[in-house]
Amino acid sequence: MKIFYLPDLGEGLAEAEVREWYVKEGDMVKVDQPLVSMETAKAVVDVPSPYAGKIVQLHGKANAIIKTGAPFITFETDEVPSHINAPRDQVPDKGSVVGKLETSEKKWDDGNVIIGAPKAKSIAVKAMPAARVLANQLNVDLSLVKPTGPQGLITPDDVKQLINQQSHSTQLPGQTEALHGVRRAMAQVMALSHREVVPVTIIEDADITELPPKSDISVRLIKAIVAATKEEPSLNAWFDGKSLERKLFNEVHLGLAVDTAEGLFVPVIKNAESHSEQELRQIIDDYKKSVSTRSVSPTDLQGATISLSNFGMIAGRYATPIIVPPAVAILGCGRSREVAIPRQGQIIIGRIMPLSLTFDHRAVTGGEATHFLGSVIRHLLERK
């Protein structure tokens, strides 16, 4: 008997949730055969078999939360490993982002356990990962859903359509629902921020009356943030509250908040300072697409040094955006509006855009934060 312990399916993830088992106890499997679909805080991934042999025990049912390094699957196999895949506190880390795998003569690398989108597989019901997550949350049998996606794939909208048709199956008053996947991870991260960060939010209105029509506000904001970090680098940083150390960055890895039905994603535009306006727009569009289909890579959701939330595209003027440690700042952009503006003794109808900057007062002074916000507004209004 050999126990396969759940590997780290990303960078330092503490747990993952079982979405769907592709095998059952007693099944014979081959090496690299997909065993299970797992949802992490970053993506829905498939986990392949490290052995050829018989499945003796599955250590968790659908929707179970499995800790990284905990017993995952017990195999009956004749393969003789050179090392034993034990919990992380019992053996030294091999340095792989996929955790410590029980090894035999087969070499393992980052490609052996998937990081990102699931492998293609042949199953009776074909559905997008986001549709599977939604169906599981709403207790919908995917075999009853009519697919409208490409190549017969069931989309999240297909699941919602079935729910609308089954109007008699609404939730009962007071019924509770456990948080799963991205929404569960969001709750954990927000609680962490509340415990650790000392947040202060300052707000200001940017007069954008003179901006050219149809300006790409998101791209202009990113450019302005990049320029402002050069003048006030303390906001483009990480802070360790335990050691009371901070790390300032020359590169700007900008986290861009993207809202979805499943929860909040924050893909990171790496080296934002090196991209043109056209490149930034393409990156934003690509991220929106990959997030909506849950195909965004976990590596694209890591490493933000500062973040932007353009919540005004939906609604709202001002906010107190939440900082995700170890970063120390996040800028929120509210919905722009027309207002009466005094100018040279006259009243004109102009347009303003509300900005809300939250900073961690443990690592950033009030002066640094106000200078940064003023710099963002100044560079936002620069003529290109």
CATH number of the domain residue 376 falls in: 3.30.559.10
Asked whether the beta carbons of 180 and 136 are under 8 A apart, the reply is yes
In a domain, 330, yes or no: yes
Give the total number of structural domains in the chain: 2
Which residue range(s) make up the domain with 42?
2-90
Asked whether the beta carbons of 324 and 301 are under 8 A apart, the reply is no
Residues 78 and 208 in one domain: no
In a domain, 352, yes or no: yes
**C-alpha torsion angle, residues 362, 367, 373, 377 (rounded to 10):** -170
Residue that finishes a domain, picked among 30, 64, 90: 90
What's the confidence (pLDDT) of residue 200? 97
In a domain, 69, yes or no: yes
Distance CA 255, CA 248 (A): 16
**Tens place of pLDDT per residue across the chain (384 aa):** 899 999 888 656 778 889 899 999 999 999 989 999 988 776 788 899 999 999 999 999 988 888 888 999 999 987 655 344 545 444 444 333 333 333 333 333 333 333 233 333 334 578 887 888 888 877 788 878 888 887 778 888 888 888 877 655 455 455 677 787 788 888 888 888 999 999 999 999 999 998 988 889 999 999 999 999 999 999 999 999 999 999 999 999 999 998 887 778 899 999 999 999 999 999 999 999 998 888 888 889 889 999 999 988 888 899 999 999 999 999 999 999 999 999 888 999 999 999 999 999 999 999 999 999 999 999 999 876
What's the confidence (pLDDT) of residue 11? 57
The token pair that represents 134 in the structure block: 């939604």
In a domain, 204, yes or no: yes
CA 161 remoteness from chain centre: 26
CA 136 remoteness from chain centre: 20
The secondary element (H helix, E strand) that includes residue 56 is: strand 53-58
In a domain, 278, yes or no: yes
Asked whether the beta carbons of 203 and 354 are under 8 A apart, the reply is yes
Residues 204 and 327 in one domain: yes
Residue that finishes a domain, picked among 90, 113, 136: 90
What's the confidence (pLDDT) of residue 54? 92
**pTM reported for the whole predicted model:** 0.64
CB count within 10 Å of CB 102 equals 21
Pairing of strands 346-360, 15-21: unpaired
What's the confidence (pLDDT) of residue 95? 35
CATH number at residue 10: 2.40.50.100
Straight-line distance from the first to the last Cα atom of the chain, in angstroms, rounded to the nearest whole number: 66
DSSP state of 113: S
Smallest CA-to-CA distance from 292 within 314, 270, 267 is with 267
In a domain, 23, yes or no: yes
In a domain, 17, yes or no: yes
Residues 197 and 64 in one domain: no
What's the confidence (pLDDT) of residue 145? 87
Neighbouring C-alpha atoms within 13 Å toward the C-beta of 23: 26
Residue that finishes a domain, picked among 61, 90, 119: 90
